[in-house]
């Protein structure tokens, strides 16, 4: 019984946070796309990493792994200086 009481708040927190994370993925992808369209001055390695993270973030979003998607997208945004 004690485990159920402790687990219930964690499950509820997760259930309420997933839609928020899911909604932020497309917004983050649009921000990255806009920054890339402005031809940022990044090294070739950083540009490749941003594009890799952007693609990974979209794939993770589509597969329902929104926390992982947000992590990748925010790393890309950080490299672009837009976070």
What does the domain layout of the chain look like in residue ranges?
2-80
Q: Estimate to the nearest angstrom the gap between the alpha carbon of 1 and the chain centroid.
A: 35
More confident position, 54 or 10: 54
75 vs 22 pLDDT, higher one: 75
Please check whether residue 24 is in contact with residue 70, taking contact to mean a CB–CB distance below 8 angstroms. Answer: yes
pTM of the complete model:
0.73
Contact at 8 Å (CB) between 78 and 40? no
The Cβ of residue 67 has, within 10 Å, a number of other Cβ atoms equal to 12
Lowest-confidence segment of 8-17, 48-57, 64-73 by average pLDDT: 8-17
Res 24: pLDDT: 85
- The angle, 0 to 180 degrees and rounded to 10, between the axes of the packed helices 66-80 and 2-37 is 40
pLDDT digit string (tens) for 18-63? 455 556 889 999 999 999 999 999 999 999 999 999 999 999 999 9
């Amino acid at each position: 019984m004690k485990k159920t009481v402790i687990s219930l708040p964690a499950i509820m927190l997760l259930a309420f946070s997933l839609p928020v994370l899911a909604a932020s993925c497309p917004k983050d992808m649009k921000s990255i796309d806009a920054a890339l369209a402005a031809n940022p001055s990044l090294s070739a390695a950083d540009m490749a990493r941003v594009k890799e993270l952007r693609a990974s973030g979209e794939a993770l979003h589509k597969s329902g792994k929104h926390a992982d998607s947000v992590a990748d997208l925010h790393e890309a945004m950080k490299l672009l200086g837009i976070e």
